[in-house]
Amino acid sequence: MKRHPTCSDAVCEVGGHLTGGCSASQEIGCCDSCGSHDLPFWEHFLDHHVWLAKLLSGPVRLLAGLALFILALLLDDSPVKLLVFVAAYLVVGAGVIVQAFINMFRGKFFSEHFLMSVATIGAFIIGEYAEAVAVMLLYLLGQALEDRAVDRTRRSIVSLMAIRPLIAHLPSPEGVLDLTPDRIQVGQEILVYPGERVPLDGRLEGQGGSVDYSALTGESRPVSLNSGDEVLAGAINGASVLTLTVLRDEAHSAVMRIMELAEAAGQKKTPIEMFTQRFSRVYTPLVVFLALAMALLPPLIFPGQSLQVWVYRALSFLVISCPCALVISVPLAFIAGIGNASRRGIYIRGSQYLEALTHLDTVVFDKTGTLTSGAFEIVKLDMAPGVDRDYLIRLAAAIEGPSNHPIALAIKAMNKDQEEVRPMDIQSVQEIAGHGMEGTLDGRQILAGNKALMDRYGIALPNLEEDMASGSLVHMAEDGHWLGSFTAADALRPGALTAIDRLRDQGSQTIAILSGDRQEAVTEIGMALGADYMASGLLPGQKMEELDRLSELTKGRTAFVGDGINDAPVLRQADVGIAIGGLGSDAAVEAADLVIMTDELERLPDAVAIARLTKRRVQENLVIILLTKGLLMALGAMGITPLWGAVFADTGVMLIAVLNSLRAYYGRVPR
């Protein structure tokens, strides 16, 4: 007798528990051949007995049941005919009946399997053998077609997420070791061969190369790399061997963050999804009792009415009333919509946020790195009399060293351009949120930041702002004296105006900009985009207050769009927090409800268009299902719709709704 290493339960030779259960879990079992606690025992069993899995598959049972059904119809009335009908029924319907009992054992008494079982067993009881088998045949056919359509789309969506590399190549004295990415540590060097997926986020060492980020961004164009560039996990390497220094472990890599987003997408439901689930829990027991009343009350109240006729009508009513089309098609439409967005590099944390996009009234933007490119360039340097230019640049680069703000990066890049770079040992460096940086050099206080920081420490500044229209200023001070100021310029992001115009066309009434930058810089960008509201010089807490005020003034939902740098609190506070340029931004993925992996603002109206498309599919399904069901239930109660016709119609409605839901995945986004 073998014992499973994880839970010590008895296992058979091919794996899987002899008892069909597992002490570690009541829902799933263990398998020595396939891994650990990952799938139900019976799925492992069928995996190891392919012949049995094929025998029990839907198409095989459908064909066998159909052959027996035709044979029974050709036979003369005799006990053999009844036995063949029973055999045909068991071949196609045994699984449905077993599932009905399993559901009842789990507390789900009124499932679709229960309705079909009651209807067909009832048909057998009243002697309608052919109709009982026909109902099960049509139901099995409908389920097979529905499962094929749904599984195909689910596989398409899941394949978008199947970008997690399984192997990392680690150079060692013994040669190149092939290890799983979770065994690689930060700081180690790995190799990525041509055509392979990058297993971990890393910094490129040595010669350049190119990668394809299409799995992350939806764009299949290659991205050129230079030594020192960051490369993200999930990218496909081009034609050269890359050497990367690992920057993040697997759990914090770009691939894992995207997979977390994908897993979270199915956890948060829209109000309409939750309503359909609650509705079905009340609706199904109600129609069962109505069918019972339809079968019994007319013969009791009206003399001469046939019990068999009314039982038959009640069974038709019961079959037609099955709410599975409603319960399946609505969530499927939202899953398809989220998958459509994922194909375009737009990752949505849940269907409730996809639905919220259809009600956007106010869209609030951060400026730097969101509406603008964030690629600042120092265009002017003002210095106090007697201050050495090189000293000022080196000092500014040193104190801005820990900062990843775009202006800080521009200052540090300016320092790298100098022929001789002598690092300065700035001590006790700390970031003052929304103001700048503070530190000490040989006991002297060093400040780098905006005017508010200088005012806070009583630093007198020359009047520099009247000579500039929209640049951003970073002032430098040493021991209470102004040393100089850097003027950084930033350009409007390409496509920003087009994105704003499309958002207005889609129903957004208010476009607002909240920024910590100077009023002149914010006003210039706001005027270029036709913004309705602009606020400048804001600290992160003040942005939240402004967002609250804007939310109170709007009738619909409010979205905040930022680049994930210093925007996490505001992203969490908005009805829909949208992070743009999510590649490599931990804060963006953690805080946002929707992440646009590229820096293209046009993807935002694309997301809204997908949300509106998805909502239309849901509304169409509701109209189709409710009108058709209502009409058929009335016809069934009047005895016009036969039992097999009821199943045929119900299956047809189901397939129409499912196929219509799938249009949300394949639908085109107009631009």
Quickly list DSSP for 11-55: E-TTSSBTTS-BTTBSS-B--TTT-SS-B-HHHHHHHH-HHHHHH
| DSSP state letter for 74 | H
| DSSP state letter for 556 | S
Between 565 and 379, where is the model more confident? 379
Q: Whole-model pTM?
A: 0.67
Token pair 């849940």 in the structure block, residue: 350
- 52 confidence band (pLDDT: 50, 70, 90): very low
Six-digit token pair at 86?
A: 């029973």
Share of the chain above pLDDT 70, in %: 79
**pLDDT tens digits along 131-151:** 778 778 877 776 676 666 556
Hey, where are the domains in the chain? Answer: 1-40, 59-158+269-333+615-666, 168-262, 377-489
Q: What is the model's pLDDT at position 358?
A: 92
- 503 confidence band (pLDDT: 50, 70, 90): very high
Tell me the mean pLDDT in the region 301-313: 84
Q: What are the residue ranges of helices labelled H in 234-370?
A: 254-264, 271-301, 307-320, 324-343, 351-356
Q: How many CA atoms lie within 13 A of 342 on its CB side?
A: 29
Active site residues: 366
Would the pLDDT of 55 be above 80? no
Return the CATH superfamily for domain 377-489.
Answer: Calcium-transporting ATPase, cytoplasmic domain N (3.40.1110.10)
Would the pLDDT of 63 be above 60? yes
| Nearest Cα to Cα of residue 416 among 433, 396, 436 | 396
d(CA 214, CA 203): 19
**pLDDT tens digits along 150-198:** 565 555 555 555 567 788 999 988 889 999 898 999 999 999 998 898 9
d(CA 13, CA 541): 62
Please check whether residue 484 is in contact with residue 384, taking contact to mean a CB–CB distance below 8 angstroms.
yes
d(CA 20, CA 14): 13
Q: What is the model's pLDDT at position 36?
A: 42
The rounded mean pLDDT for the chain is 79
Q: What angle do CA 280, 281, 284 make, to 5 degrees?
A: 65
Comparing 168-262 with 377-489, is the CATH topology the same?
no
CATH topology for the 168-262 domain = 2.70.150
Tell me the mean pLDDT in the region 319-341: 80
The CA–CA distances, whole Å, from 209 to 174, 237, 407, 535 equal 27, 8, 28, 42
Q: Beta partners for 437?
A: 431, 448
- 576 confidence band (pLDDT: 50, 70, 90): very high
The CA–CA distances, whole Å, from 425 to 62, 394, 398 equal 78, 11, 7
Between 151 and 472, where is the model more confident? 472
**pLDDT tens digits along 398-417:** 998 888 777 888 888 887 75
Q: What is the model's pLDDT at position 582?
A: 64
d(CA 93, CA 322): 17
**pLDDT tens digits along 281-299:** 777 788 888 888 888 888 8
Please check whether residue 376 is in contact with residue 490, taking contact to mean a CB–CB distance below 8 angstroms.
yes
d(CA 373, CA 496): 10
**pLDDT tens digits along 386-402:** 999 989 999 999 998 88
**pLDDT tens digits along 507-550:** 888 999 998 877 888 888 899 899 999 998 887 778 888 998 99
Collapsing DSSP states into helix, strand and coil, what is residue 204?
strand
Between 77 and 310, where is the model more confident? 310
pLDDT winner (highest mean) among 121-125, 225-229, 253-257? 225-229
**pLDDT tens digits along 601-647:** 999 999 999 999 999 999 999 898 888 888 887 887 787 877 777 77
Tell me the mean pLDDT in the region 486-507: 89
Q: What is the model's pLDDT at position 529?
A: 92
Six-digit token pair at 657?
A: 């709704």
For residue 189, which phi and psi values (nearest 5 degrees)? Answer: -100, 140
d(CA 219, CA 197): 16
d(CA 86, CA 95): 14
Collapsing DSSP states into helix, strand and coil, what is residue 160?
helix
pLDDT winner (highest mean) among 271-275, 587-591, 598-602, 641-645? 598-602
